[in-house]
Each structure stands twice: as structure tokens, then as C-alpha cells.
Amino acid sequence: MKRRYFGTDGIRGRVGQEPITPERMLKLGWAAGRVLGRSGKVLIGKDTRISGYLLESALESGLSAAGVDVRLLGPMPTPGIAYLTRTARARAGIVISASHNPYEDNGIKFFSSQGTKLPDDVEAEIEAMMDQPLETVSSAELGNAKRYPDAAGRYVEFCKSTFPSRMDLEGLRIVLDCANGAAYQVAPHVFSELGADVIAISNEPDGFNINQDCGSTSPAALQSKVQEFRADVGIALDGDGDRLIMVDDKGNLADGDQILYVIGMARKRNQRLNGGIVGTLMTNLGLEQAFQASKIPFKRASVGDRYVMNLLTQEGWELGGESSGHIICLDKSTTGDGIICALEALSVMVQTGKSLADLKSGMELFPQNMVNVSIPREVHIKNSFDVNASEKIQDAVAEAEKELADKGRVLLRASGTEPVIRVMVEGCDELMVNRLTNNLASAVKEAAGEAAA
């Protein structure tokens, strides 16, 4: 059945436009309450967007109307909400966040009582229930709402518990970019309480500056600060704290593929790698080849942490991730967690005595270029633009693949969270890769314009 609201990562859009409106959120809260049942409580956490207050109140009202008790977490990283949902024995957890998107956007996603994303069939039930008339339970049965006690402190202690007990971060200077997002309170405490000298930046959210020229999607400021303060490493989270990008002491970036390499190789050396490792269609070919050389099984999932999680579960493996920095360590958390993955990478540095630059040097990245081609929002909402059905785009793809031969690849896909088509080309020659990416992006832009006409 075609989804109207839920995408690959919950419900997301521009605030004030369907479906991110107060009316729709009220109905969503009520429908979720009806489907999930009145037994137990539902936790609600959010990032630092100004619209979080609006959506939180609407969801709370809808859940109360369905007779469901609510516990409010306030600003909390997405993985923290997953953790507290599980440990508090809650019926479900709700995240109000648009992750790495700008403040004008917002979104809703759900966690099950196990701290995992809701199954597709449950999301479908919630969508179907939203078509029903909203009926409020009797006054005696209305749900109540309370603040959850010491939510931030509980999550800080959990993150610290994943770090080796006989190890600390004494002597390490870390520049920490909190993206003016959900981790601005908890992240500095985690690293400093483990002994690191922490220099926090982008940790003063005002409701409007989340992800603005900071965080994992804009790490230039972090690279500069690492060099300015002569830090050992830089850590950049995104707006909801589930992604991680790092910077070595030389100011060079380490993306999700390189971090996954550092963690995966360490687990292999320490005999802690359970099975293999999952990447995605966007994973750099250099990572796949590095794992092959070390006899580490590697498989690719579709883009999106939901699909990485599905393949990990299917294979019985524990480690997987995306080049964007969304890394899942299933032996530690039920979802991607930027803080916990950073701690594991830091533990490798401490254990080996090597810098991040040295640890990632064993993997050679293939030149890869990705361009986000914006498409008209109305085309995105209607899901009426298919890159595979456009003759113009497919001709451009065929030409690019012919030129790359067997030494590269092309990937085009629609984003599940933004009105863009992601155009990626990977190959051995950087100039060729950039030229082919620009050619394909132009073809996609022209075809999208024709679809909107």
C-alpha cells in the first residue's frame, strides 16, 4: 500500500505544510495511541527546533485524547529516546526531529518498546487510523502528562557504560561540535566525565540555528577549531545526535566509511567482530576492498538506517553504517548513536596509542562525488518523479557508465527525507568523476523541471 505520511525515516516535511501541521500532529498522536494501546506510557523527546514546542503539544493532546499517558523528555538525542523507551518499559517512544535538515523542517518517528523502529505494518495501521473520526475517551480515562525524571543524566551514564571500564580519555583534547542540536547538553558531559579535555562548539541552540553551518553536514568550522586548539581529534554530531563525522589531528575529515573501517578493523583484531559488516549502496568502494583484503564479510543494503538494520538482523551481525556517519553497533545500542560510536573510535585510539589519521590510513578512498539536485516540493510530495522512467536521465546514466567501464559506478536515488535526487558517481579519476556527476545532475534537473511543468 502506498504511504501517504510515513517515509523511510518517519514523517518529515516543512513546518506548517502538510503533513507537519498542528491538526495533523493531533490526529497522529490520537491514531498512534489507538493503535499502540492504552497500556503503558509513551515517551516524547525532541531536538532544539523552535517548532518542537508546537508539535510536542499537539502529539501530547492527541495521545491524551486516546487515553494514553505521556512522559516528556525535553531535548534528547534520538538514540537516547530509543534507550529510555526500552529501559523505562514504555509502550513506545516518539522523536520530534528532522535530523540534519534546516530548522524550518521537522519530523516525527516512532520507536517500539524494544527501542527499535516500528514495523511497517504498524505504521500502516496508524496511517489507516488517521482516516477515522477522532473520538476522545471519557474525562476519567484521559491520559496524563509528566516530565520524565533526569532523562539526560540517565542517558549520559548509559553512554559512559559502553566505554571500556579500565580505560579513560585522560590526556585527549577533543573539539566537540554539537550542531546546536539535541546532544548539546549530554554530549559534553559524556566525554568530559571520562577524562577528556573538551572544547564544545555549536552548543548554544536558539531554536533556529540547528545544523546551521555546523555539525556533521558542515564540518568546516570543526576542522578549523581542531587545528586552532591543537586538538587530538574532532567530533561532529548532527541535529538529533545519531550521526558522527570525525576530524583527525591534521584537520582532515573521517566520514562514516572511514570510522566504520577503524571500528571494524579493531573488532577484527580483538576478535570482537561477530560475523561481517553492512554498508549501503553509497558506501565507498575503498571500504569494501579494504574489508575484502582483511577477509571481513561485507554486504550492501539500500540507503537508510532502516535497511542497514534489517540486513544486520537478517545476517545476525552487529556492525553496520552509512558514509553519512549513521553507524549502528547493535551490541551497544538498538539504533545509530553518534556519541557511542565516537566513544568506540576513541577507545581504539587509546588502546593502540595511534592517532585517528594513522588508524584510517589503511583504507584508500575512491574519488566519489555526490550532488543533491533539488526537485519541486509538489513533485516530491506527490512522489511523481521517477528517475528510472526518464529517458533523458537513463541516456545520461548509460553514457557515464560506458565511460567509467568497470572502474566505477553510478547511483541515482530519491531522498526519503528531502525534496532532492541524490546523484553519485565513483571512479578512479577525480576529474572524470566530477565531470560525470555534473552532467548527470544537469540531466536530472532538466527532467525534474519537465515533470513539474
Are residues 99 and 240 in contact, defined by beta-carbon separation less than 8 angstroms? yes
pLDDT value at residue 11: 95
All cell numbers assigned to 202: 555549536
Residue 2 has pLDDT above 70, yes or no: no
All cell numbers assigned to 55: 508539535
pLDDT value at residue 453: 67
Is the Cα dihedral 438, 439, 441, 442 positive or negative?
A: positive
**Short-list 217, 219, 218, 247, CA closest to 232:** 247
Tell me how far apart the alpha carbons of residues 279 and 75 are, in angstroms, rounded to a whole number.
Answer: 30
pLDDT value at residue 194: 98
Residue 58 has pLDDT above 60, yes or no: yes
The catalytic residue among 51, 99, 216, 218 is: 99
Strand pairing class (173-177; 197-201): parallel
Cis preceding linkage at 219, omega within 30: no
pLDDT value at residue 330: 96
All cell numbers assigned to 211: 545544523
Neighbouring-strand partners of residue 410: 425
φ, ψ of residue 376 in degrees (nearest 5): -55, 135
Residue 171 has pLDDT above 60, yes or no: yes
Tell me how far apart the alpha carbons of residues 291 and 276 are, in angstroms, rounded to a whole number.
Answer: 9
Rounded to two decimals, the pTM is: 0.89
Look at phi and psi of residue 215 and say left if phi exceeds 0, alpha if psi is from -120 to 50, else beta: left
- Return the percentage of the chain with pLDDT > 70, whole number: 97
- Return the percentage of the chain with pLDDT > 90, whole number: 87
Domains in the chain, ordered, with CATH? Answer: 11-149 (3.40.120.10), 154-360 (3.40.120.10), 368-452 (3.30.310.50)
**What confidence tens digit (pLDDT) does each residue in 361-393 have?**
999 999 999 999 998 766 655 565 788 888 999
- What distances in angstroms separate CA 22 from CA 82, 158, 178, 187, 203, one per listed residue? 24, 34, 28, 31, 28
DSSP state of 10: B
**What confidence tens digit (pLDDT) does each residue in 237-271 have?**
999 999 999 999 999 999 999 999 999 999 999 99
Tell me how far apart the alpha carbons of residues 250 and 69 are, in angstroms, rounded to a whole number.
Answer: 50
Reply yes or no on whether 64 is catalytic: no
Indicate the average pLDDT of the chain: 94
Q: Per-residue pLDDT averaged across 168-173, rounded? A: 98
Is residue 369 helix, strand or coil? strand
Q: Per-residue pLDDT averaged across 211-225, rounded? A: 97
**What confidence tens digit (pLDDT) does each residue in 312-365 have?**
999 999 999 999 999 999 999 999 999 999 999 999 999 999 999 999 999 999
Q: pLDDT category, 1, cuts 50, 70, 90? A: low
pLDDT value at residue 226: 98
Strand pairing class (298-301; 277-280): parallel
Are residues 279 and 257 in contact, defined by beta-carbon separation less than 8 angstroms? yes
Among 150-159, 182-191, 404-413, which is the least confidently predicted range?
Answer: 404-413
H-helix or E-strand spanning residue 401 = helix 391-404
Q: pLDDT category, 419, cuts 50, 70, 90? A: confident
Q: pLDDT category, 450, cuts 50, 70, 90? A: confident
**Short-list 33, 6, 79, CA closest to 328:** 79
